[in-house]
Amino acid sequence: MELQTLTYLVVGATFVLYIGIAVWSRAATTGDFYVAGKGVHPIANGMATGADWMSAASFISMAGLIAFLGYGGSVYLMGWTGGYVLLAMLLAPYLRKYGKFTVPEFIGDRYYSSAARVVAVICLIFISFVYVAGQMRGVGIVFSRFLEVSIEVGLIVGMGIVFVYAVLGGMKGITYTQVAQYVVLITAYIVPAVFISLQLTGNPIPPLGLGGTLVDSPAVSADGVYLLERLNAVVTELGFAAYTDGQKSAIDLFAITAALMVGTAGLPHVIVRFFTVPRVRDARSSAGWALFFIALLYLCAPAVGAMARYNLMDTLQVGAVGAPDGNLLYEERPAWMQRWEQTGLLKFEDKNGDGRIQYYNPAGMNDDLERQYGWAGNELTVDRDIMVLANPEIARLPDWVIALVAAGGIAAALSTAAGLLLVISSSISHDLLKSTFAKGMTEKNELMAGRIAAAGAILIAGYLGYNPPGFVAEVVAFAFGLAASSLFPAIMMGIFAKRVNREGAIAGMLTGLIFTMGYIVYFKGIFIDPIGVNTPANWLLGISPEGIGFVGMLLNFAVAFAVSKMTAAPPREIQDLVDYIRSPRGAKAAIDH
């Protein structure tokens, strides 16, 4: 069976599964639609959280970043993993004890203000739409390559699938669909990683293979040479930075990691997962299970990235590295390169007319060497987002593994997109309409409003997927920065700072959001960098747009505390609410008696 047919069958089977689950678990009440009736088992919730959390950025783009940035790409690994621990320890149990439906609802009640709730909704919508743009781009990439359709068609199909199980099933349908999607995506990630680790190092455990030695390579006799040592030699001879060296300044490295960590803890679509379990104890338990399920993928990601980069270089350099005879003839390029060229995500331009693929970094090469070999600049452009998806093809793995990876990439993107779209729709229907502008709305009308809002959000998400503001992980990093600078401080102060009032919270959220959004737009443009200013020399304190959310967070805290100090303290009942949220059940009664 040819690859395309096999891929259609595998991906189609997963779609039938997702739709079937959505029909089986259709939401009948607003409680089902918003929080799955608060009846999800902790293990199932842990798997659903893992799928919700491990988006296209984790499945498709993170290892691609690590493949090209090497050590510098580890900020995404450290930030996202550490951020989940921060969320599980500091926020999730307290928010579950509070017991309502949405993050804006908590902020509105805690800061006794409809205005605070509306500001939180605005922040949530900005965060979620930036985030969902990355997910829909991932859907388009997978469809355009493996199903051999245009990105537009791929996005329409993906939007249709999300529409069915998000609009029909609500959080209940999404939760059980995400359990299935987790199984698909983790299998699709680990199976090729095991194959490739065995192929390159003889070790079936990818994290151990990353630190292991190579078996004999078809291009270079590298038996007994460490994988990372050989990879360093290959990339540095072609002018790239050593794979194991960092390419970012210490302050930018710290800022990006911190922004990703605190941004994780402020992501509404992840926080809402802890509202779906029956008890506070279950929220803690599901957080532990989720961390386990997430770790299965994250422990493999560095190995997947390094091995993908090695396989790419090994394919292109078929002889002595750095010599013209060692560069692959374009007419002899492998089939996987031909297939990816059709997507436009891999491009070749024969600048010197020698018919060979010159893939190197001119900025890191000696001018004399370039003249000696007749090089006229790098001729190959490789989109970072294709590395995980193309890796099984580069390694010549069986077609069923390639088809499985396609299904996994789609599952990762769709699972997170569905979660994001649901928090958007619930914020509009529950926080803006039911709780603010149309308080007399019936539950039936609220449920209908939520479904209409979800449908509208899907249309906007599709447009953003077709016109994304960067590659997947970069777009997601911007969303984390916005969450770090707007919602995270408001939630933290709402739980741990009784003195912070509505004026402070509103001023802090607006300050953090406007500053961070303005910085990103200035340096990155809306969809490109049109003014050419996005360089370290122009960044504030040397901090990139990906890390500026950390500064926005500090500004949020500073403004919130300053404004709160200059205005009246929160009412006594609000301070009692904070005590209630932070105290274990029964603690107050024990103290009183």
321 plus 372 within the same structural domain: yes
- Report the alpha-carbon distance of residue 458 to residue 438 in Å, rounded: 23
Q: Of the candidates 353, 377, 393, which is a domain's last residue? A: 393
- Report the alpha-carbon distance of residue 41 to residue 308 in Å, rounded: 37
- Residue 535 covered by a domain: no
Report pLDDT for 148: 72
283 plus 355 within the same structural domain: no
- Residue 262 covered by a domain: yes
Report pLDDT for 593: 32
175 plus 323 within the same structural domain: no
Which one-letter amino acid corresponds to residue 410?
I
Please work out, in degrees rounded to the nearest 5, the angle formed at the alpha carbon of residue 95 by the alpha carbons of 31 and 559.
125
- Report the alpha-carbon distance of residue 412 to residue 54 in Å, rounded: 6
Report pLDDT for 269: 73
- Residue 538 covered by a domain: no
435 plus 333 within the same structural domain: no
- Report the alpha-carbon distance of residue 145 to residue 128 in Å, rounded: 26
Please work out, in degrees rounded to the nearest 5, the angle formed at the alpha carbon of residue 265 by the alpha carbons of 424 and 286.
90
- Residue 382 covered by a domain: yes
36 plus 14 within the same structural domain: yes
Q: What pTM was estimated for this model as a whole? A: 0.78
Q: How many CB atoms lie within 10 A of CB 5?
A: 11
484 plus 582 within the same structural domain: yes
Long-range contacts of 517-523 (CB under 8 A, 24+ apart): 517/126, 517/482, 519/545, 519/548, 519/552, 520/478, 520/481, 520/545, 520/548
Q: Of the candidates 378, 393, 408, which is a domain's last residue? A: 393
Q: How many CB atoms lie within 10 A of CB 404?
A: 25
Instruction: Identify the domain containing residue 100 by its residue range.
Output: 3-213+253-307+398-520+546-587
554 plus 441 within the same structural domain: yes
Residue matched to tokens 């078929």: 318
b/e 24-50 (16+ beta carbons within 10 angstroms → b): ebebeebbbbbbbbbebbbbbbbbbbb
424 plus 458 within the same structural domain: yes
- Report the alpha-carbon distance of residue 105 to residue 92 in Å, rounded: 15
277 plus 336 within the same structural domain: no
Do 179 and 170 form a contact (C-beta atoms < 8 A)?
no
Q: Of the candidates 369, 393, 417, which is a domain's last residue? A: 393
- Report the alpha-carbon distance of residue 397 to residue 456 in Å, rounded: 40
329 plus 409 within the same structural domain: no
- Report the alpha-carbon distance of residue 448 to residue 59 in Å, rounded: 33
371 plus 405 within the same structural domain: no
- Report the alpha-carbon distance of residue 237 to residue 254 in Å, rounded: 29
**DSSP tag of 359:** -
pLDDT in tens, the chain (593 residues): 777 788 888 888 888 887 787 777 666 666 556 555 667 788 888 888 888 777 777 787 788 888 888 887 888 888 877 887 887 777 877 877 877 667 888 888 899 988 888 888 888 888 877 777 777 777 777 777 777 777 777 778 777 777 776 666 666 777 788 888 888 889 989 999 999 999 999 899 999 999 888 886 544 444 568 888 888 888 888 888 888 886 778 898 899 899 888 888 777 777 777 777 777 778 778 888 888 888 888 889 899 999 999 888 888 875 434 444 467 888 888 888 888 888 788 899 988 888 888 888 887 877 777 777 778 888 888 888 788 888 898 888 888 888 888 888 878 777 777 777 777 777 787 777 776 677 777 777 877 877 787 778 778 877 777 776 554 455 666 778 888 998 899 999 999 999 999 999 999 999 999 999 888 878 776 544 555 666 788 888 889 888 899 999 999 999 999 999 999 999 999 999 888 888 755 444 333 33
Angle between helices 487-496 and 472-485 (to 10 degrees): 40
CA atoms within 13 A on the CB side of 448: 5
296 plus 349 within the same structural domain: no
- Residue 402 covered by a domain: yes
As to burial, measured by CB atoms within 10 angstroms (0-12 exposed, 13-18 middle, 19+ buried), residue 223 is exposed
Backbone angles phi, psi at 134, to 5 degrees: -65, -40
Question: CATH number for the domain including 449?
Answer: 1.20.1730.10
DSSP H helix total and E strand total for the chain? 28, 2
Report pLDDT for 26: 66
Tokens representing 125? Answer: 């919508």
125: nearest Cα among 415, 414, 411, 432: 432
Report pLDDT for 566: 95
**Ramachandran region, residue 475 (left: φ > 0; alpha: ψ -120 to 50; beta: rest):** alpha
Question: Structural domain tally of the chain?
Answer: 2
Report pLDDT for 590: 35
